[in-house]
Amino acid sequence: MIRHPLDQFHFCPKCGSKNFNVNNEKSKKCGDCGFTYYFNSSAAVVAVIENAEGEILVATRAKDPAKGTLDLPGGFIDMHETAEEAVAREVLEETGLSITSMQYLFSIPNIYVYSGFEVHTLDMFFRCNINDFNGLNAQDDVAELSFIKRKKLNPADFGLESVRKGIEKML
């Protein structure tokens, strides 16, 4: 049986009532104040960074979910931030590198489990260009950074489903 994504929410976010029930597949409605809450995907970005040798920059995750598995740099888009701003910020935070240009590639939906909470995301993949790899340094929630030749990438080594699917799509 598939759980409704809003089963995690028990109280109306507007008035606090417990009379907060499934309205349809995308929403819950408060029986007291009438507020309808729609559950939408959170926006996230993923950076595909290739060096001059045709190798892809991969990160080893330092934290759960999927701690110790491979990943690509990226993360959630902050409020009042564009996807382009988010990918540049996330790459800088996780690798110490500055993006010189980027190109949108594709998007993949995902479920990212954080502290036992299922966050439905839409992960937007960007090809990112870096002119200078000096200063490359694993930071933030990244344990290690390395380059892997495109032909040696193994989707099964990537812990997050959307990134696995993204690697498969790129290959």
Mean pLDDT of 103-130: 93
| Domain at 42-170: CATH code | 3.90.79.10
Instruction: Kindly list the domain boundaries of the chain, sorted by start residue.
Output: 5-38, 42-170
Owner of token pair 């990212």: 112
Report the C-alpha gap between 69 and 120 in whole angstroms: 20
Mean pLDDT of 28-41: 95
Report the C-alpha gap between 31 and 12 in whole angstroms: 9
Owner of token pair 């606090």: 16
- 3-state SS, one letter per residue, for 98-148: CCCEEEEEEEEEEEEEECCEEEEEEEEEEEEECCCCCCCCCCCCEEEEEEE
- What SS3 state is found at 27? strand
Q: Is the pLDDT of residue 18 over 90?
A: yes
pLDDT per position as a tens digit, 51-107? 999 999 999 999 999 999 999 999 999 999 999 999 999 999 999 999 999 999 999
The model carries a pTM of 0.91
